[in-house]
Amino acid sequence: MDTSWRPADIEHEETPRGLCVYPSTEQELTRLLREAAASKTRLVVDLGQTVLPWRAVLVSYVEMKAIREHHVSDYLVSVQPGITVGDLQRELNQEQQGLGRIYSPHRELISILAEETVSPSFYLAGPLRYQVTGLRVITGDGALFHYGGEVVKNVAGYDMIRLFIGGQHQYGLLTEVTLKTKPLPEMSRPMMLYFSHFKDAWHFVQAARDVQFDTDILAMLKPHERQGWQVVFRILGPEALVEANLSWFGRYMNTHQPRAVILPLAPEGLLHWIEHTDWTDITESQKEGLVLRIILPELDLPLFLQAFETERYLKYADLNLCVGSGALTFRFHHRHSPSFKQALQLQERVRDMGGQLLCLVAPATLESEYFALNQPQQTVLQTWSARLKQQFDPHGILPNRIGGSR
């Protein structure tokens, strides 16, 4: 690496954490990538409080936050990905539209897109990649690629959305995305339930799934300091439908009489909740320690919890399940994080159950060690992963989340 390299004509500053670059246009970002490739300078996208690895440059998206176009009648919006969720939602709300997903409003879209953050809205909306109809991206060697756009269906060429959304900045940096939007519901009723026992919480969630309860949010959460389980949902739709769903809910509670406390939430309360339970928010989580994700057939969750109930370190983890995603996310507080060896053992046992364990967040000094957990098990996938990096980031300037070489 040429340590004297500075991007020409692109805003940048020396910070206590090192060199931070603020491109504001696609052209600037393209030039930045090309210059970084030429000088073999590694780039890391700033997600807020990102700790800068040694001899790398931090790329901030704060200047790339424009709304390119809101195609109101097509229910699509094209934006630069540095925009925050809150700013985007506010703009959409002016036209009685929204993202149809809930995320912490202060998060930049770029971090959600790159990580394909699982949201409590997964239950209704599915994975985030389904909502993206177009993107513009610059690969690691500075090639600009444009795919899709204002169309909601597209099989012209390979579906590159599946590579770059959730690609964790490994293959290219996004400069623009087009997302589907949704009409704002006529009415919404967020609620939180505190169940004393897991089995009651689980029974409620399954019953809601079986009756196709009209909720966009359905999430289970167990903070480590509490015994019980929280379930959060939000009934939405036309008034008559909301009333009908509330009736079902009332009947359910009367019939089953679980040990639970019902707490209606105000919209601000819901946002407050999401801000404190989004454990993939790197900004927060990096201060806290380790975030692991276990992906498994969701109906096997009770079996999983039973199998691991004696694992001491799991007792000190916060756990969250966005229902429908099959993704159990564990946040370990620093003192109680499993060692790498323990994490490996956990991974083996999860694999035996037909699941998968991944590391989403690790303290900066331990990243390369814990990210090794993300190495695919099958040799073919290891080969393909290596080829992807070679093809899309031939100079190795972008992050490597598969572990080892970062």
Partner 1 sequence: MASWTTLAFAKEAKQFLGDDAVLTQTAELKTYETDALVMMKTPPDVVVLPKTTEQVQQVIRLCQKFDLPFIPRGSGTGLSGGTLPMRGGVMIGLSRMNRILKIDAQKRTAWVETGVINAWLNREAKPHGLFFAPDPSSQGACTIGGNIAENAGGIHCVKYGVTSNHVLALEVVTPEGDIVQLGQNSETVAGPDWVGLFIGSEGTFGIATKALLKLMPVAQKTLVFLASFSALTDATETVSAIIALGLQPSALEFMDALTVKLVNQAFHVGFPEEAAAVLLIELDGDPRQVAIHAQQLHRILKEHGVVQLREATDEGDRLALWKARKGTVAAYGRLYPSFYLHDCVIPRSRLTEVILAIEELAREYDLLIPSVFHAGDGNLHPHILMDPQDRAMVKRALAAGEAILDLCLSVGGVLSGEHGIGIEKSGFMTRLFTASELEVMRRLKHVFDPEDRANPEKIFPMRSRCGEAHTGLPLKILQASGVWI
Interface residues for partner 1 in 252-281 (CB under 8 A)? none
C-alpha distance from residue 327 to each of 36, 242, 296, 368 (Å): 36, 28, 7, 23
Query: Binding to partner 1 by residue 204, rule CB under 8 A?
Result: no
C-alpha 61/C-alpha 111 separation (Å) is: 10
Nearer Cβ to partner 1 (228/399): 399
Query: Binding to partner 1 by residue 32, rule CB under 8 A?
Result: no
3-state secondary structure of 92: helix
Q: Are 101 and 121 in contact (CB under 8 A)?
A: yes
Closest approach, Cβ 238 to partner 1, in A, equals: 5
From candidates 261, 384, 404, 405, binder to partner 1 by CB under 8 A: 384
From candidates 157, 255, 264, 335, binder to partner 1 by CB under 8 A: 157
- Footprint on residues 292-311 left by partner 1 (CB under 8 A): 293, 295-299
| Beta-strand pair 42-45/56-59 | parallel
- Footprint on residues 166-195 left by partner 1 (CB under 8 A): 166-168, 170-171, 182-183
Task: Kindly tell me the burial class for residue 85, based on how many C-beta atoms sit within 10 Å of its own C-beta (0-12, 13-18, 19 or more).
Answer: buried
From candidates 81, 120, 190, 326, binder to partner 1 by CB under 8 A: 326
- Tell me the torsion sign for CA atoms 210, 211, 214, 219: negative
DSSP state of 374: G
Closest approach, Cβ 327 to partner 1, in A, equals: 4
Nearer Cβ to partner 1 (263/381): 381
Query: Binding to partner 1 by residue 13, rule CB under 8 A?
Result: no
Query: Binding to partner 1 by residue 71, rule CB under 8 A?
Result: yes
- Footprint on residues 86-115 left by partner 1 (CB under 8 A): none
Q: Are 76 and 67 in contact (CB under 8 A)?
A: no
Nearer Cβ to partner 1 (149/269): 149
C-alpha 185/C-alpha 196 separation (Å) is: 32
User: Which of 34, 39, 35, 3 has the alpha carbon at shortest distance from 19?
Assistant: 3
Closest approach, Cβ 356 to partner 1, in A, equals: 6
C-alpha 339/C-alpha 347 separation (Å) is: 12
* Region near partner 1 per CB under 8 A, out of 43-51, 154-162, 264-272, 335-343: 154-162
Nearer Cβ to partner 1 (2/239): 239
C-alpha 93/C-alpha 249 separation (Å) is: 29
Query: Binding to partner 1 by residue 150, rule CB under 8 A?
Result: yes
Query: Binding to partner 1 by residue 385, rule CB under 8 A?
Result: yes
From candidates 13, 51, 126, 287, binder to partner 1 by CB under 8 A: 126
